[in-house]
Amino acid sequence: PMDELAEAGGVGFSDDGDPVFNSQIMRCALEHSRVLGLPISDHCEDRELSGGGIINEGRVSARLGLKGIPAASEEVMVARDLVLAKLTGARVHIAHVSTRGSVELIRRAKERGILVTAEVTPHHLTLTEKSVSASAKVKPPLRTEDDIKCLIQGLRDGVIDAVATDHAPHTLEDKKKQIELAAFGISGFETALGCVMSLVHNGEIDLVTLISKLTYEPAKIIGRDGESGTLKIDSTADITIFDPEREWVVDSRMFASKGKNTSFEGYKFKGKVMATIVDGKIAYKDDSLVIASREVTKHYGG
């Protein structure tokens, strides 16, 4: 019921986790979303090509004897939905882009004036197909170093608009299985900033661009331009305060999320969230800030 969802405040529609294979259904959805002025976010996967796949199709999957998921399974759906977006004049958002081919398709579509935006996840920007484990089993799968280079370039030149976690908080029971049986997905909230800050420290992207990709540009995609993702006077006080130089070690036991599954367990990141303010109220403070405030209170009283 797209009309009712829009009226209730929905900011868009998504087929994530269950891609629409029927092109006529996707066309109708895009046409209706255009009337409502809302985007459709696509999980681009041709399951005829990816069915039964575990990791990226390539040398690693062949060496390990694991069924692979080819880049084409993503790219053919990206291509189809870009064609349908042009046909209908609707806005389409490509979720969790993972391949060089998808980036190039989106680049050409933007050059032709098709209304498309796209996102990439922190894990697809930093981990390759060589990270083979149940914790790193995600969909789309982790790809190659060449794909990562293209994704980062896409962020720099504006082909990819946003960084989004694709947070999938599975239970440890869902993930602590042999890789063929484990669920797809990774918990990404707590590690997102530290993970992508590695790109800044390595000189692969500048800090201002990264912050925009995490805040302002995602807000624009969901129609909150000027309302969210900015520090303008009278805008909602949703603020993240972080220390770009603070080093920390990932310990999933400290996650606020119920999903503790991460491929970054034990990693040392540089760049840490120190506090968050939600709607003007402090929602989180790092333990070091809590200790510091106690010391100040003890010293000065009050």
The one-letter code for the residue type at 145 is E
Altogether, the residues listed in the chain come to a count of: 302
Q: How far apart are CA 215 and CA 103, in angstroms?
A: 21
238 as an active site residue: the answer is: no
In whole angstroms, give the CA distance from residue 216 to residue 230: 6
CB 121 within 8 A of CB 185: no
The DSSP call for residue 67 is P
Query: Rounded to an integer, what distance in angstroms lies between the CA atom of residue 174 and that of residue 171?
Result: 5
- Euclidean distance between CA atoms 26 and 36, whole angstroms: 15
Dihedral sign from CA coordinates of 87, 90, 95, 101: positive
Burial-class residue 220 by CB neighbours within 10 Å (0-12, 13-18, 19+): middle
| Amino acid making up residue 243 | D
d(Cα 273, Cα 259) in Å, to the nearest integer?
Answer: 19
The residue annotated as part of the active site, out of 166, 206, 251, 286, is 166
In this structure, what token pair is assigned to residue 285?
């403070």
Q: Which residues are catalytic?
A: 166
